[in-house]
Structure 1
């Protein structure tokens, strides 16, 4: 099965009714897509109240890909807002357990930063993260090219298989060491993740030093049909290796993600059932 969705549900105006309130956005989103990447968990460990609200607002078959908190992946700057690393992990596990119990947790996405290179130290850190998230399905995403050099790529995939974690396959700009190639290999037989970040090479690197401005353009990209056909080939290969392929469009900056995802869905001739009863038709006839 191929599941297609987007990163977040708050930045995709194409999937909202013009009269929708902020509180209805997830409900409207789930009328179009069966999965979503929950990135709010990267910035802060969410309250049980938020998690249970999102569970109630989505159909029974809806799944969340939960992004790991930044304190676990080395992105957080300064002191952690927790008494200890153990407390951080305990709170994170407690936060997402309701999703798991409801059958709505597809996986935890552990995305490491561009400076997280292939070294023994970082291999040990991955083992530490996985041990602290034992009992959950984990997807590992690298951003440093060293994990996929001809010398290390076979070992990287073998290592992920050894840990029984999901390989997060990426399509992203090829912009040096801080980017990785699209390696369409699954490390588990049940599920794999493919994240599409766009191909904006100029925007991928932060050359201005302005983090806020950079984030606005980094994922500014609109996939054309030729590029989507390339992605389709990768998805078909992954589909031959695993039961479920989760595809997330993360090219959100210009509002292209939803349109690209719908076009890709049509290209694959996929129709999802059991979505929110409030099925919207904004995209009918457009793709």
Structure 2
């Protein structure tokens, strides 16, 4: 089964719920999740709608990351060495508990943990990832890890980590790579096509979407379900165009 949607509500929620199958909540990355607000959002959705949620950056991004400029809630800067990079600290695990509380309120199927390019592959980060995912194992939802930076040159290490945990999946942009490990669920995040890791201003062409459909067909043979989430300026249009392709060719 293929679920198509966007990273964030790019149109009104009412209209969004009438068009798409899934959404990845983004505001939970910048600030701690608000369970009451997430519960309200969940109550507005159709019964079959699926939610994913991006984990709070306190888990993944150090306090000097530029992403904190958009945050309303910033931890004490004197504890800067205690946040981000999946560090095995009380502060990171406390942040994770807030994420779990939000995910339960939302009834999220997937929590997306996007580590920054600065959290590249090295032995310390490898150990941090193992310890973090060991401590967050749960049957309540899947954890989707999107590693960036030099992890892409060490896919065998991604394989080693993801293979250890039943509820952990490798989140990818399928135009750049495919999951290191085949699991029942695959999760695609589409950040635009270009020379860098992201090109948010990119608009996917009809040929791009045809190529994406071809990739999806191959992956769906190995995974029972695929989430396809667009994360570009034209996400609403591109997601709807791709959803129409899926209906036409994958029914």
Number of matched pairs: 227
Residue 56 (structure 2) pairs with residue 61 (structure 1): no
Q: Which has the larger radius of gyration?
A: 1
2:158 match: 156
C-alpha contact 2:36 2:105 (8 A) present in aligned 1: no
**RMSD value, Cα:** 2.6
Structure 1 residues 33 and 230: CA distance shift in structure 2, 3 A: same
> Secondary structure in 2 aligned to 1:245?
strand
2:207 equivalent to 1:226: yes
Secondary structure at the aligned position of 1:220 is classed as: coil
Q: Which segments of 5 or more consecutive residues in structure 1 lack a partner in the other structure?
A: 13-24, 173-181, 205-217, 272-287
Question: What residue is the counterpart of 1:118 in the other structure?
Answer: 121
> How far is 1:242 from its partner?
0.6
What does residue 227 of structure 2 align with?
A: 246
Q: 1:88 to 1:184 in 2, by over 3 A?
A: closer
SS at match of 2:64: coil
Q: Give unpaired runs (5+ residues) of structure 2.
A: 66-73, 80-89
Who is 1:178 aligned against?
none
Q: Give the CA deviation at 1:89.
A: 2.4
Deviation of the 1:167 alpha carbon: 1.1
Provide the residue aligned with 1:192 in structure 2. 186
Shift in Å, 1:250: 0.4
Instruction: Report the equivalent of 1:275.
Output: none
Residue in structure 2 matched with residue 141 of structure 1 by the alignment: 146
Q: Distance in 2 between matches of 1:93 and 1:74?
A: 18
1:76, 1:26 → 2: CA distance?
A: 31
Structure 1 residues 162-171 or 58-67, which shifts more?
Answer: 162-171
- Given the two structures, how large is their TM-score scaled by the length of structure 1? 0.71
1:188 deviation in Å? 4.7
Instruction: Give the distance between the partners of 2:197 and 2:221, measured in 1 at CA.
Output: 33
State the SS of the aligned residue for 2:5. strand
Matches within 5 A, 1:74-223: 74-77=61-64, 80=75, 84-100=91-107, 105-135=108-138, 136-144=141-149, 146-149=150-153, 152-164=154-166, 165-171=168-174, 182-185=176-179, 187-201=181-195, 204=198, 218-223=199-204
Give TM-score, length-normalised by structure 2. Answer: 0.81
Aligned to 2:68: none
Distance 1:133 1:5, change over 3 A: same
